[in-house]
Structure 1
Amino acid sequence: MNDTRPAQIAAPVWLGVVLIITGLLGLLGAFSLSVERIELLLHPEEALGCDLNPFLTCSGAIESDQGAVFGFPNPFLGLMAFPAPIIMGVLTLGRVAMPRWVWTIFSIGVLGAIVLVLWLAQQSIFVLGFVCPWCFLVWLAMYAMAFPLWTWAFGAGALPAPAGLRRVAARYSAWGWVLSLTLAVILVVTIMIALPGIPRFLFAF
């Protein structure tokens, strides 16, 4: 069966905006965590600015085994990875039609990032028992990036899919944010149920 997907794909402007904004937010989170990591090394006796209470803390995440999944601090991975969506977003705003394989590899890379982020969130909430504020920003940035990208990618042919799924994805590609919002709400509700100290801390303000 012949592959009818286009060889060159120009993504819509709205997707470029999404990639740039979410990439910048993720980069902000990764950069801030990297700075905090350095601060912790230089001043191990001092509390970090993002250590708000026992349930909202950066230092606990940084010093945990989960904070260095690949043998080096996770924020360094973010510093290397988040420029990619920013670059893709800028090229999209420039109306550059890129080879299909570029979008395919990028979409698969985002899938790998989402798997890692979901695992880190599960470990943070249910194993470590706290949430790192900057990590939370990175999680939300990835949620907001992933589903709009994937719905568009299936509809545009950047990812292989049956013809029926491609038609549905193409029709509703601009509504991927609904899935992102749903996952974000599930995350927030899970945190508030699993870590009751966080709602008490927030309501104290």
Structure 2
Amino acid sequence: MNPSRPAHIAAPVWLGAVLVVTGLAGLLGAFSLSVERIELLLNPEAALSCDLNPFLSCSGAMESAQGRLFGFPNPFLGLMAFPAPIVVGVLTLGRVAMPRWVWTAFSVGVLGGLVFVLWLAQQSIFVLGFVCPWCFLVWMAMYAMAFPLWTWAFGAGALPAPAGLRRTAARFSSWGWVLSLALAVIVVLTIMVVLPGIPRFLFAF
């Protein structure tokens, strides 16, 4: 067995805190969207609290084809998925060493989640022409979760990588948040450029 990739790995406490906080934020967004979706089904004429203006709208996102990509409302995916980082984060805070395959599977799952929310952001900004506030919270939670996890996982040997990449990732494992912040800034700037009505609405307050 490769000694640089131990069979069981205990992640640092800071990563556990990141996973718990981002998991809770994502779960809050998914739960709020689910509640709003049920309210819209029960009362199609209801004015949702997250429908702020034509550029910031939850109902428009939920009623679109993109809002039910797999045949059911996307928020239900979040209700099923976001407990995973919370559980992994709590175990990490408890200094539990988990099998390497758990970290690999979890990291791949986070990659799938990131790809999904990036696609949703692209569809929301460039196709639908508005942003759902609770969806935006879910996007930011995924951005904040993904890169700190991956930089640590590569550096710790939880994910397979060439030796040079592992050494570099290990050296900068606590700086994955910079990549998360960069992605978040890019998305926010894109929203402000493509949907100028949003910053005008926000600055009005």
TM-score in terms of structure 2 length:
0.98
The correspondence of residues 101-112 of structure 1 with structure 2, limited to 5 A, is 101-112=101-112
- What are the Cα deviations for residues 35-89 of structure 1, in whole angstroms up to 9, with x where unaligned? 0000101111121000000000000000000001111100000000000000000
The correspondence of residues 2-151 of structure 1 with structure 2, limited to 5 A, is 3-4=2-3, 5-151=5-151
- What are the Cα deviations for residues 21-42 of structure 1, in whole angstroms up to 9, with x where unaligned? 0000000000000000001011
Q: Report SS of the residue matched to 2:103.
A: helix
Query: Share of identical aligned residues, percent?
Result: 84
Aligned to 2:185: 185
Q: 2:69 and 2:9 mapped to 1: Cα distance?
A: 34
1:3 Cα offset (Å): 3.3
Q: 2:58 and 2:171 mapped to 1: Cα distance?
A: 41
Q: 2:2 and 2:191 mapped to 1: Cα distance?
A: 44
Amino acid at match of 1:46: A
1:15 Cα offset (Å): 0.1
Is it true that 1:198 corresponds to 2:164 in the alignment?
A: no
Q: Report SS of the residue matched to 1:52.
A: coil
Runs of 4+ in 1 over 6 A off after TM superposition: none
- What are the Cα deviations for residues 79-125 of structure 1, in whole angstroms up to 9, with x where unaligned? 00000000000000110000000000000000000000000000000
* Residue-pair matches, total: 204
Q: 2:199 and 2:88 mapped to 1: Cα distance?
A: 37
Cα RMSD, aligned residues only:
0.7
- What are the Cα deviations for residues 113-157 of structure 1, in whole angstroms up to 9, with x where unaligned? 000000000000000000000000000000000000000000000
Q: 1:6 and 1:196 mapped to 2: Cα distance?
A: 50
Q: 2:83 and 2:45 mapped to 1: Cα distance?
A: 33
Amino acid at match of 1:80: M
- 5+ residue gaps, structure 1: none
Amino acid at match of 2:2: D
Q: 1:153 and 1:69 mapped to 2: Cα distance?
A: 30
Q: 2:43 and 2:70 mapped to 1: Cα distance?
A: 24
Q: 1:103 and 1:203 mapped to 2: Cα distance?
A: 42
TM-score in terms of structure 1 length:
0.98
1:199 Cα offset (Å): 0.9
- 5+ residue gaps, structure 2: none
Q: 1:66 and 1:187 mapped to 2: Cα distance?
A: 18
